[in-house]
Structure 1
């Protein structure tokens, strides 16, 4: 990982320690940036090609908050091990009650229910804000993300074959939705 202080948390800690889910703060942006950069550089979990810098990630965080939507982090043993947020699904006003979730968990913490805790809290907070539905747009073949979303009541509602290209490969976009 880009940030060695993040990488020093041992995976076994995740099974015995309390994972705190809380609102993200400006101090979390370097950790969020490092987590996302790894996904951008090494996976098809996002169609983004170039990892954004901290200033851009701060701007994105601020944009979510300015819309009154939640942006959360998972903290384990003082380390940020994942994050998620809700954004407006589409820009037109008629879509204002539908949000899209984005969730990223450090690879060494996958399987320790960090994603479940993050997404469950995001769903609760979006319900409390009066959102009507949540959409997940899952790039490529991402079995862990599909399983996570299905376990929390999302169902497949659409598939766009060859929706994007990354690493020289045409990738699908699976759309899942959950009513809130």
Structure 2
């Protein structure tokens, strides 16, 4: 597997992965799908903080990770929140770990101090994945999201980054 910076020509595959997760899971609370133009703009805006992974012998992008501001305002400038999505066929094969290692390393080298993961309580696999990467649960907000006719809890996890 190879992690590389996202390019504009990755936007259709990234959009498809993201929208599949939005449409088919409770991992995110939104039901509004991403647009190709919106994803392309995000790739352009987040150069240096948006990567994709390709697998040998498999055509196309198998996952992506990106991060951006956690909240607005200068007091939060050193804190970022990330999104990581891996195609079902690539899950359990180290793709997510490789993507996250890239994001964590880059964020640390960019002098970011904390990376936040906002995880749906309906996605315990994601919480366990982040715990294995050294993220600690720092918050739990019951029933703050609503999707597909059900209230969803939000788990907040974070990792303090060591500058490289």
Same structural fold, with TM-score higher than 0.5 when normalized by the shorter chain? yes
Shift of 1:60: 2.4
Matches within 5 A, 1:20-59: 20-59=2-41
Tell me the residue number matched to 2:63: 82
Tell me the residue number matched to 2:72: 91
Contiguous gaps of at least 5 residues in structure 2: none
Contact kept? 2:53, 2:61, Cα under 8 Å: yes
**Whole-angstrom CA distance in 2 between matches of 1:38 and 1:140:** 19
Matches within 5 A, 1:18-167: 19-65=1-47, 69-77=48-56, 78-167=59-148
Once superposed, what is the RMSD of the aligned Cα atoms? 1.1
Shift of 1:93: 1.0
Contact kept? 2:136, 2:159, Cα under 8 Å: yes
Contiguous gaps of at least 5 residues in structure 1: 1-18
Contact kept? 2:79, 2:116, Cα under 8 Å: yes
Aligned length: 159
Residue 91 of structure 1 aligns to a residue whose secondary structure is coil
**Whole-angstrom CA distance in 2 between matches of 1:147 and 1:26:** 32
Residue 115 of structure 1 aligns to a residue whose secondary structure is helix
Shift of 1:56: 1.3
TM-score, structure 1 length as denominator?
A: 0.85
Contact kept? 2:8, 2:44, Cα under 8 Å: no
